[in-house]
Chain A
């Protein structure tokens, strides 16, 4: 099962920090994602694209999971040498398109 089948997402940036919010579609989906999408696992997924550590925050009352990557954007979007210079909003697909690990 893909992560996108269990949650919606939005990403943002501030300076070098990239942040991604997942909001699960229901309680069961939330519990599954909390169990499966650890800092370590999301760190592996993100490192395919960006450097640095991943920190996770949980907000069970709103079924929300927050990932914060303070070094990911290396000097911010203005210093980016990627073609997708303001690419940060697309970073959600680094998670949504992946499988939920069993």
Chain B
């Protein structure tokens, strides 16, 4: 057995760039490629699609993402691990086997990791906020976060491609390491997975460092995605492919280590409670660092569950622009006019008025310097029905005839009133299994 396992991040979200995974498919020294492609947003899309057609519900990018890489990874015996299975991993795995067959990759084996869908055990979930159960809405889906074991088992049994639904993102990356080295590497492998799972966010993307200007546009456009070479003790070296632009250094790695981590002493995964406070990052060379010190302080008693809920009605988003002399005064009057009109519509439970380019992102007040020759008013309103949303939309058009001068450029859209709920479920309520498909 090799003394290290090298895992590469080929995608950090469903719509991520295609080229990095293709590059990793042939690059020297890569053992496994992970495509992390599942988010709340794409899971909801999968659930809605599966409702319409029970043989769908996996991510629509399954074929375009895997077609260019399977003919490269299969002959090299490089595992591909992905959560593109979304709301229907078994249908996705069957589809990958079909795709591989069409491409002449006879014998390619696909494993589907099953068991995350627990909608029929929703009553066993302890929800963090159980008031949502009284919102009059319905569950689109309820899923448990699965861990490393079923993926590692599929790899041990020789899977060329492993397709999952809702597993912890870090476990996708940890599985090939644990399959090779066992539990001794677990804490390090999961920490590596946590660092890799957002692709370019480890290698220079989304870095707010006021001391420097960051990467150039040409560098961002070709940003190197990260790989990690993990040892049996769970320590790891991180890098990008030779020649790829990146900023991979201890400071950026620290930003990513704590990204969406709520307690640095206790980051909960299904397999381990990770303690990140003893981690060290050491620079080795340009865009090459070493991580050590990953620890686990135990195993969580219960598994995390996530519920996707659709409340009745919708959220209406509307915008209208004002330009030219006095636009600031006119848009403020337009906003106040909308406030008076919306407060009179009983089906609107909550609304917000903000000014795009002024305070629509951070939600601060309007008592800040305004510059520029135009302003866009945005209205977001939670509506109990489509009829209410229509009334709200009509009100913004009414501003053009019965409001301050020059309202224009109106756009409106309605989106489903969705919420994502967190909960916990007993481990014995969740059973995993593998489904096998061969090209």
Contacts and interface: CB of A to CB of B under 8 A. Distances in A.
Contacts of A63: 254
Given A49-B364, A81-B315, A81-B382, A14 B208 contact: no
A42 to B, nearest CB: 15
Interface in B298-316: 315
A25 interface: yes
B362 A87 contact: yes
A14 B264 contact: no
B263 to A, nearest CB: 6
B430 to A, nearest CB: 20
Interface in B234-287: 251, 254-265, 276-281
Interface residues on A, range: 35 or more
B210 A81 contact: no
Contact of B419 (A48, A68, A79): A79
A34 to B, nearest CB: 14
A25 B265 CA distance: 22
B208 A68 contact: no
A85 to B, nearest CB: 8
Interface residues of B, number: 54
A81 B381 contact: yes
B109 interface: no
Contact of B352 (A4, A9, A10, A81): A81
B391 interface: no
Interface in A19-39: 19, 21, 23, 25
A50 to B, nearest CB: 7
Interface stretch (B8-16, B83-91, B111-119, B353-361): B353-361
B40 interface: yes
B258 A8 contact: no
A2 B211 CA distance: 12
A76 interface: yes
B271 to A, nearest CB: 19
A9 B361 contact: no
A101 B106 CA distance: 66
B363 interface: yes
A82 B260 contact: no
Contacts of A2: 210
A15 interface: yes
A96 B209 CA distance: 10
B208 A4 contact: yes
B419 A19 contact: no
Given A9-B208, A76-B419, A78-B420, A19 B380 contact: no
Contacts of B265: 57
B183 interface: no
A64 B257 CA distance: 10
Interface in A42-90: 48-50, 57, 59, 61-64, 66, 68, 70, 75-76, 78-85, 87, 89-90
B31 interface: no
A83 B378 contact: yes
B421 interface: yes
User: In terms of DSSP, what is the predominant structure of the interface of chain A?
Assistant: mixed
Contacts of A13: 260
A10 B351 CA distance: 28
A90 B418 contact: no
B362 A23 contact: no
Given A10-B208, A10-B255, A75 B419 contact: yes
B350 A48 contact: no
B40 A78 contact: yes
Contacts of A90: 361-362
B262 A14 contact: yes
B209 A8 contact: yes
Contact of A59 (B262, B264, B361): B264
A34 B64 CA distance: 48
B347 to A, nearest CB: 15
The 6 closest A-B pairs by CB, nearest first: A81-B380, A83-B360, A12-B260, A84-B361, A83-B378, A81-B352
19 contacts: A4-B208, A5-B210, A8-B208, A10-B208, A10-B256, A10-B258, A13-B260, A17-B262, A19-B259, A49-B364, A61-B279, A62-B281, A66-B261, A68-B262, A70-B262, A79-B382, A82-B361, A83-B380, A87-B363
Interface of B: 40, 128-129, 201, 206-211, 251, 254-265, 276-281, 315, 317, 319, 350-352, 354, 356, 360-365, 378, 380-382, 415, 417-422
Given A62-B280, A68-B263, A79-B382, 17 more contacts: A2-B210, A4-B210, A10-B206, A10-B207, A12-B260, A19-B258, A21-B254, A48-B363, A57-B265, A62-B257, A62-B281, A66-B264, A81-B315, A81-B351, A82-B380, A83-B356, A87-B363
